Amino acid sequence: MNEENYSVLYSDHPNTIPNVQAPPKPEIVYTKPEHIAAIASLPAGFLIVRLFCYHVPGLFTTLLCWALLTLTLVFLHKSEKHLRAGDKVFAAMLYILPLVYTISANRFLQGLTTIFLIAAGGLFLLRAANPDADVLRYLPMTVLSGIFGAAFPHLPDTFKAAAQGTVSKSLLKNAGYVVAGLAIAFPVTCIAASLLVQADDNMSLLIGNILKVPPEEVIYLVICMLFGIPVGALAFSMLLTASRRYLRVDNTECANVVEHMHVMPNVIVYAAATPLCILYILFFLSQLQYMTGGFTGETAGFTYAEYARRGFFELCTVCCINLAMLGGMGFLARITGAVKPIALRLYSGFLCLSSIVLAGTALAKMAMYIRIYGMTRMRVYTSWFMIALVILFGAILVRQFLPTLNLGRFTAILAAVMLGLLCLSRPDAWITRYNAEMYLAGQLEEFDEHVLFDMSDDAWATLATYDDATLTKLDKQQTFYKPLPEYLDQYAEKKDFWKRLNLSAVILQLRG
């Protein structure tokens, strides 16, 4: 029966005309490496959640990161994806950074490393999927499109690839029935078990031995499985998008998106930036002697403590405001072509120079404060952040007169280098070393033992390298409930298994 006969037959009831169905989509056939990777990704997701979230990261976490990266490289090689020279350097960095989990016990820096490794791993796969595109030039857009545009839509492929060729549909159906039956039987079994426990002492003893497993451990296992499955599926979907190149980064399309963001008339941008620039000029003129003191050590009537503390965090905040202002000017101001108007470049350059001077003044203040009162974590972290800002503002300043500078790539490299320098240097260790040596040399008035209780095992391991006589000198104020040498000898005994899997814990155990 042709279409004309259908029309005549259903002319009185047009809504009942059957629709012609589109042909079904061809079923995706997964390769053997994809099948193996899909199976391995699920337990890998469990281990990631287990080691990163519910245990103190240590040697096992480093080994897990190395194993995952090695499997990723093998998978890309089997998928005939050839890495560029930059990708090989990227991979070497991904091998080096996980050492933080083993050589340092600083949980904050371990957390920063974890966040960075997740972001860097995603960028590595994006670069592998797009060997001819500049992924880092339009960094925010490529990351968002990689995660939400390609990875999430392919999450179900993990289970399809894992089941392909090994699990039939009938087996999956029966497995679902088994799960449903167990769910129904669980409350009934619990009621029956409680009745049997009350009826027989031997049964009560048997059930009691079974329930000796800590309940929090069972809860942790369940949570790790619930979160580990989607984590593993997301990891495999990223691998799949890289190997099959489902995600294509189009620099021309990204450039068009950025071009459409330039909607604000330049006069508005200049009017918004002018009061800020005038304010900075007035500030520099009114505080010229004061700011010069920040670089020469002259405090103009202030005590060192007042001078060093005065306005430090305010200057840091102003630098962050300037960074946001520069970003808004760069994205929103109307630009014709690749070259910015000279006025826009001058405004941006002045804001960069102002930020560099402000950050330099803040760093000089912090250096003076450290010289008088010693180091702490917060003083080191803020100084590290300000140094990174100075370098970034310098790159933005160069970008105003050298438009070919890839600011996205520079920012990514800067983040990797600065994070590596901070985390791999074990700051808690050299903070403690600096304070102890300066105190013993008479440069610091006191050795603040209270700072130690806010730091990780890295600090205590550094103290453990001193002899008992030196430790007694450092504990002059007798802050500890027992002499510091004895305290250090027993310190390692308080640590559980997972807190012993790093360099500092080993040093402390050797001390004990």
Over range 448-458, report the average pLDDT. 80
Evaluate whether residue 172 is within a structural domain: no
390 and 439 housed in the same domain: no
Evaluate whether residue 21 is within a structural domain: no
268 and 137 housed in the same domain: no
Evaluate whether residue 431 is within a structural domain: yes
Give the amino acid at 171.
L
Here the tokens at position 335 are 């630009």
Residue 300 pLDDT > 70? no
* Domain end position, chosen among 372, 407, 424: 424
Evaluate whether residue 236 is within a structural domain: no
The answer to whether the beta carbons of residues 54 and 220 sit under 8 Å apart is yes
Domain holding 130, by residue range, is 32-163+246-250
- What pLDDT is recorded for position 293? 52
Here the tokens at position 43 are 């337990």
* Domain end position, chosen among 250, 279, 308: 250
Residue 469 pLDDT > 90? no
- What pLDDT is recorded for position 144? 64
Average model confidence (pLDDT) for the chain? 77
Residue 325 pLDDT > 60? yes
281 and 412 housed in the same domain: yes
E strand spans, 74-175? none
Evaluate whether residue 173 is within a structural domain: no
Residue 101 pLDDT > 80? yes
- What pLDDT is recorded for position 425? 92
Which pLDDT band holds residue 17 (cuts at 50, 70, 90)?
Answer: very low
Here the tokens at position 88 are 């090989």
Number of domains in the chain: 3
Over range 188-213, report the average pLDDT. 69
Residue range 340-353, pLDDT digits in tens: 788 888 888 899 99
- What pLDDT is recorded for position 417? 93
Contacts (Cβ under 8 Å, ≥6 apart) of 500: 58, 492, 506, 509
Longest dimension (CA), the chain: 106
Over range 399-422, report the average pLDDT. 89
Identity of the highest mean pLDDT range in 142-151, 223-232, 479-488: 223-232
Residue 465 pLDDT > 80? yes
Round to whole Å and give the CA distance between 326 and 348: 6
Residue 499 pLDDT > 80? no
Residue 412 pLDDT > 60? yes
Round to whole Å and give the CA distance between 262 and 336: 9
- What pLDDT is recorded for position 506? 82
411 and 431 housed in the same domain: no
419 and 342 housed in the same domain: yes
420 and 431 housed in the same domain: no
415 and 442 housed in the same domain: no
485 and 351 housed in the same domain: no
Here the tokens at position 402 are 């050298």
Here the tokens at position 463 are 């103290």
* Domain end position, chosen among 195, 221, 250: 250
478 and 357 housed in the same domain: no
Residue 22 pLDDT > 70? no
Evaluate whether residue 42 is within a structural domain: yes
Q: Tell me whether residue 222 is exposed, middle or buried, using C-beta atoms within 10 angstroms of its C-beta: 0 to 12, 13 to 18, 19 or more.
A: exposed
Contacts (Cβ under 8 Å, ≥6 apart) of 165: 35
Round to whole Å and give the CA distance between 412 and 332: 23
The answer to whether the beta carbons of residues 463 and 436 sit under 8 Å apart is yes
278 and 402 housed in the same domain: yes
Cα 27 to the center of its chain, rounded Å: 36
Which pLDDT band holds residue 358 (cuts at 50, 70, 90)?
Answer: confident
267 and 413 housed in the same domain: yes
Evaluate whether residue 189 is within a structural domain: no
Evaluate whether residue 454 is within a structural domain: yes
Contacts (Cβ under 8 Å, ≥6 apart) of 59: 101, 102, 501, 502
442 and 351 housed in the same domain: no
Over range 14-35, report the average pLDDT. 62
